[in-house]
Structure 1
Amino acid sequence: MSQFWEQYVRSAFSQVRGNLWLLSGKATGSALWKRVTFLVATPAIGLCMINAYKGMGETKELQVRQPFVKYEHLRRRNKRFPWGDGERSLFHNPNANPLPEGYEA
Protein backbone atom coordinates (compact mmCIF):
# COMPACT_ATOMS: atom_id res chain seq x y z
CA MET A 1 0.00 0.00 0.00
CA SER A 2 2.86 2.38 0.73
CA GLN A 3 4.25 1.90 -2.78
CA PHE A 4 0.87 2.78 -4.24
CA TRP A 5 0.75 5.88 -2.04
CA GLU A 6 4.25 6.97 -3.02
CA GLN A 7 3.80 6.31 -6.72
CA TYR A 8 0.29 7.58 -7.48
CA VAL A 9 -1.38 9.51 -4.68
CA ARG A 10 1.50 11.74 -3.59
CA SER A 11 2.34 12.71 -7.19
CA ALA A 12 -1.31 13.55 -7.85
CA PHE A 13 -1.42 15.79 -4.76
CA SER A 14 1.74 17.58 -5.83
CA GLN A 15 0.22 18.26 -9.26
CA VAL A 16 -2.96 19.63 -7.66
CA ARG A 17 -0.90 21.82 -5.34
CA GLY A 18 1.00 23.19 -8.36
CA ASN A 19 -2.23 23.93 -10.22
CA LEU A 20 -3.70 25.71 -7.19
CA TRP A 21 -0.56 27.83 -7.03
CA LEU A 22 -1.18 28.92 -10.63
CA LEU A 23 -4.69 30.14 -9.77
CA SER A 24 -3.57 32.34 -6.88
CA GLY A 25 -0.78 34.81 -6.51
CA LYS A 26 1.15 36.89 -8.99
CA ALA A 27 1.42 35.30 -12.42
CA THR A 28 4.61 35.81 -14.39
CA GLY A 29 6.04 34.22 -17.50
CA SER A 30 4.56 30.93 -18.55
CA ALA A 31 2.08 30.91 -15.66
CA LEU A 32 0.50 34.09 -17.01
CA TRP A 33 0.05 32.62 -20.48
CA LYS A 34 -1.31 29.40 -19.04
CA ARG A 35 -3.96 31.41 -17.18
CA VAL A 36 -4.79 33.46 -20.27
CA THR A 37 -5.18 30.28 -22.32
CA PHE A 38 -7.52 28.52 -19.93
CA LEU A 39 -9.44 31.47 -18.50
CA VAL A 40 -9.80 33.71 -21.59
CA ALA A 41 -9.05 31.88 -24.83
CA THR A 42 -10.95 28.66 -24.14
CA PRO A 43 -14.27 30.39 -23.25
CA ALA A 44 -13.82 32.75 -26.21
CA ILE A 45 -13.42 29.82 -28.60
CA GLY A 46 -16.51 28.18 -27.09
CA LEU A 47 -18.57 31.34 -27.60
CA CYS A 48 -17.40 31.60 -31.21
CA MET A 49 -18.40 27.97 -31.81
CA ILE A 50 -21.88 28.61 -30.38
CA ASN A 51 -22.26 31.73 -32.53
CA ALA A 52 -21.20 29.85 -35.68
CA TYR A 53 -23.53 26.94 -34.90
CA LYS A 54 -26.52 29.24 -34.36
CA GLY A 55 -25.77 31.17 -37.54
CA MET A 56 -25.64 28.04 -39.70
CA GLY A 57 -29.40 27.60 -39.80
CA GLU A 58 -30.04 31.21 -40.84
CA THR A 59 -27.66 31.23 -43.80
CA LYS A 60 -29.11 28.11 -45.44
CA GLU A 61 -32.42 29.88 -46.03
CA LEU A 62 -30.76 33.01 -47.42
CA GLN A 63 -28.55 31.31 -49.99
CA VAL A 64 -30.01 31.63 -53.47
CA ARG A 65 -28.13 30.42 -56.51
CA GLN A 66 -27.21 33.28 -58.81
CA PRO A 67 -28.28 32.96 -62.46
CA PHE A 68 -25.48 31.75 -64.72
CA VAL A 69 -23.99 34.27 -67.10
CA LYS A 70 -21.26 33.00 -69.41
CA TYR A 71 -18.48 35.60 -69.25
CA GLU A 72 -15.33 34.83 -71.20
CA HIS A 73 -12.97 36.00 -68.45
CA LEU A 74 -14.47 33.69 -65.80
CA ARG A 75 -13.99 29.92 -65.41
CA ARG A 76 -11.17 29.74 -67.97
CA ARG A 77 -9.55 26.32 -68.29
CA ASN A 78 -6.08 26.55 -69.88
CA LYS A 79 -5.30 23.02 -68.71
CA ARG A 80 -7.58 20.25 -67.59
CA PHE A 81 -7.56 19.27 -63.90
CA PRO A 82 -5.51 16.10 -63.33
CA TRP A 83 -8.40 14.27 -61.62
CA GLY A 84 -11.84 13.11 -62.67
CA ASP A 85 -13.10 14.41 -65.99
CA GLY A 86 -10.80 17.47 -65.85
CA GLU A 87 -13.62 20.02 -65.65
CA ARG A 88 -14.45 19.93 -61.94
CA SER A 89 -12.09 21.34 -59.30
CA LEU A 90 -10.95 19.18 -56.41
CA PHE A 91 -13.57 20.64 -54.04
CA HIS A 92 -16.35 21.07 -56.61
CA ASN A 93 -19.84 21.71 -55.25
CA PRO A 94 -22.50 21.12 -57.94
CA ASN A 95 -24.98 23.41 -56.16
CA ALA A 96 -22.66 26.41 -55.89
CA ASN A 97 -19.89 26.05 -58.51
CA PRO A 98 -20.85 26.17 -62.18
CA LEU A 99 -18.84 24.51 -64.93
CA PRO A 100 -17.75 26.66 -67.91
CA GLU A 101 -21.00 25.71 -69.70
CA GLY A 102 -23.30 26.37 -66.73
CA TYR A 103 -24.66 24.75 -63.61
CA GLU A 104 -25.11 21.00 -63.40
CA ALA A 105 -28.67 19.70 -63.40
Structure 2
Amino acid sequence: MAAFGRLSGVLGRSLVNRGRLYSAAAEHGDSSRCRTWKILTYVVALPGVAVCMLNAYLKTQHHSHERPEFVPYEHLRIRALKFPWGDGTKSLFHNPHVNPLPDGYEDLENDH
Protein backbone atom coordinates (compact mmCIF):
# COMPACT_ATOMS: atom_id res chain seq x y z
CA MET A 1 0.00 0.00 0.00
CA ALA A 2 2.87 2.34 0.78
CA ALA A 3 4.38 1.69 -2.64
CA PHE A 4 1.10 2.65 -4.29
CA GLY A 5 1.00 5.88 -2.29
CA ARG A 6 4.57 6.69 -3.27
CA LEU A 7 3.83 5.95 -6.94
CA SER A 8 0.74 8.13 -7.01
CA GLY A 9 2.68 10.92 -5.30
CA VAL A 10 5.45 10.80 -7.90
CA LEU A 11 2.95 10.68 -10.78
CA GLY A 12 0.95 13.57 -9.31
CA ARG A 13 3.90 15.98 -9.18
CA SER A 14 4.60 18.46 -11.94
CA LEU A 15 7.37 17.88 -14.47
CA VAL A 16 9.56 20.45 -12.75
CA ASN A 17 9.27 18.65 -9.42
CA ARG A 18 10.02 15.32 -11.09
CA GLY A 19 13.17 16.74 -12.65
CA ARG A 20 14.24 18.07 -9.28
CA LEU A 21 13.55 14.70 -7.70
CA TYR A 22 15.73 12.86 -10.21
CA SER A 23 18.56 15.38 -10.07
CA ALA A 24 18.50 15.34 -6.28
CA ALA A 25 18.77 11.55 -6.27
CA ALA A 26 21.76 11.74 -8.57
CA GLU A 27 23.52 14.26 -6.36
CA HIS A 28 23.26 12.12 -3.24
CA GLY A 29 24.97 9.18 -5.01
CA ASP A 30 22.89 6.08 -4.39
CA SER A 31 25.56 3.39 -4.18
CA SER A 32 23.20 0.51 -5.00
CA ARG A 33 22.30 2.08 -8.35
CA CYS A 34 25.95 2.73 -9.09
CA ARG A 35 26.78 -0.87 -8.25
CA THR A 36 23.96 -2.12 -10.50
CA TRP A 37 25.27 -0.14 -13.50
CA LYS A 38 28.81 -1.27 -12.82
CA ILE A 39 27.69 -4.92 -12.78
CA LEU A 40 25.66 -4.41 -15.99
CA THR A 41 28.69 -2.86 -17.66
CA TYR A 42 30.99 -5.76 -16.82
CA VAL A 43 28.46 -8.58 -17.27
CA VAL A 44 26.41 -7.39 -20.26
CA ALA A 45 28.09 -4.53 -22.15
CA LEU A 46 31.72 -5.65 -22.30
CA PRO A 47 30.93 -9.28 -23.24
CA GLY A 48 28.49 -7.92 -25.85
CA VAL A 49 31.25 -5.81 -27.39
CA ALA A 50 33.60 -8.81 -27.31
CA VAL A 51 31.05 -11.02 -29.09
CA CYS A 52 30.50 -8.35 -31.77
CA MET A 53 34.26 -8.01 -32.30
CA LEU A 54 34.62 -11.80 -32.60
CA ASN A 55 31.74 -11.91 -35.09
CA ALA A 56 33.33 -9.18 -37.23
CA TYR A 57 36.72 -10.92 -37.13
CA LEU A 58 35.27 -14.28 -38.15
CA LYS A 59 33.26 -12.68 -40.98
CA THR A 60 36.41 -11.04 -42.36
CA GLN A 61 38.25 -14.38 -42.23
CA HIS A 62 35.59 -16.10 -44.33
CA HIS A 63 35.06 -13.14 -46.66
CA SER A 64 36.27 -13.53 -50.20
CA HIS A 65 38.78 -10.87 -51.20
CA GLU A 66 38.21 -11.35 -54.91
CA ARG A 67 37.18 -8.45 -57.07
CA PRO A 68 33.42 -8.49 -57.75
CA GLU A 69 32.40 -8.94 -61.36
CA PHE A 70 31.73 -5.70 -63.21
CA VAL A 71 28.19 -5.38 -64.52
CA PRO A 72 27.67 -2.15 -66.50
CA TYR A 73 24.37 -1.00 -64.99
CA GLU A 74 23.79 2.47 -66.43
CA HIS A 75 21.77 3.77 -63.48
CA LEU A 76 24.59 3.11 -60.98
CA ARG A 77 27.27 5.26 -62.62
CA ILE A 78 25.46 8.37 -63.86
CA ARG A 79 27.89 11.32 -63.92
CA ALA A 80 25.95 14.57 -64.42
CA LEU A 81 28.99 16.58 -63.32
CA LYS A 82 32.60 15.58 -62.92
CA PHE A 83 33.99 15.34 -59.42
CA PRO A 84 35.93 18.51 -58.50
CA TRP A 85 39.12 16.56 -57.64
CA GLY A 86 41.54 14.48 -59.66
CA ASP A 87 40.45 13.54 -63.15
CA GLY A 88 36.75 13.88 -62.25
CA THR A 89 35.80 10.21 -62.60
CA LYS A 90 36.92 8.82 -59.23
CA SER A 91 34.96 9.44 -56.04
CA LEU A 92 36.68 11.04 -53.05
CA PHE A 93 37.29 7.72 -51.29
CA HIS A 94 37.96 5.68 -54.43
CA ASN A 95 39.28 2.15 -53.97
CA PRO A 96 40.50 0.79 -57.33
CA HIS A 97 40.09 -2.81 -56.15
CA VAL A 98 36.41 -2.49 -55.26
CA ASN A 99 35.02 0.65 -56.94
CA PRO A 100 34.76 0.48 -60.73
CA LEU A 101 34.77 3.49 -62.99
CA PRO A 102 31.84 3.98 -65.40
CA ASP A 103 33.59 1.86 -68.01
CA GLY A 104 34.92 -0.87 -65.67
CA TYR A 105 37.69 -1.56 -63.22
CA GLU A 106 41.05 0.10 -63.48
CA ASP A 107 43.83 -2.20 -64.67
CA LEU A 108 46.37 -2.48 -61.89
CA GLU A 109 49.79 -3.90 -62.54
CA ASN A 110 50.06 -5.50 -59.10
CA ASP A 111 46.70 -7.21 -58.47
CA HIS A 112 46.71 -8.91 -55.07
1:93 and 1:51 map into 2 onto residues whose CA distance is 25
The count of aligned residue pairs is 77
For structure 1, the residue ranges without an aligned partner over 5 or more in a row are 1-21
TM-score normalised by the chain length of structure 1: 0.59
Q: Structure 2 length as normaliser, TM-score? A: 0.56
Are the structure 2 counterparts of residues 99 and 45 from structure 1 closer, same or farther at C-alpha, using a change threshold of 3 Å?
Answer: same
**CA RMSD, Structure 1 to Structure 2 (Å):** 2.1
2:50 aligned with 1:43: no
The offset of 1:31, in angstroms, is 3.7
Shift in alpha-carbon separation, 1:67–1:53, aligned structure 2, 3 A: closer
What is the rounded CA distance, in whole Å, between the counterparts of 2:96 and 2:83 in structure 1?
Answer: 16
Q: 1:75 to 1:48 in 2, by over 3 A?
A: same
* 1:67/1:50 CA distance change after superposition, 3 Å: closer
Of residues 33, 37, 59 in structure 2, which corresponds to 1:33?
Answer: 37
Counting aligned pairs with the same residue, the percent is 51
Matched residue, 1:75: 77
**Any stretches of 5+ residues in structure 2 without a counterpart?**
1-30, 108-112
Aligned-partner Cα distance in 2 for 1:31–1:79: 58
> Closer, same or farther in 2 for the Cα pair 1:45/1:81, shift >3 Å?
same
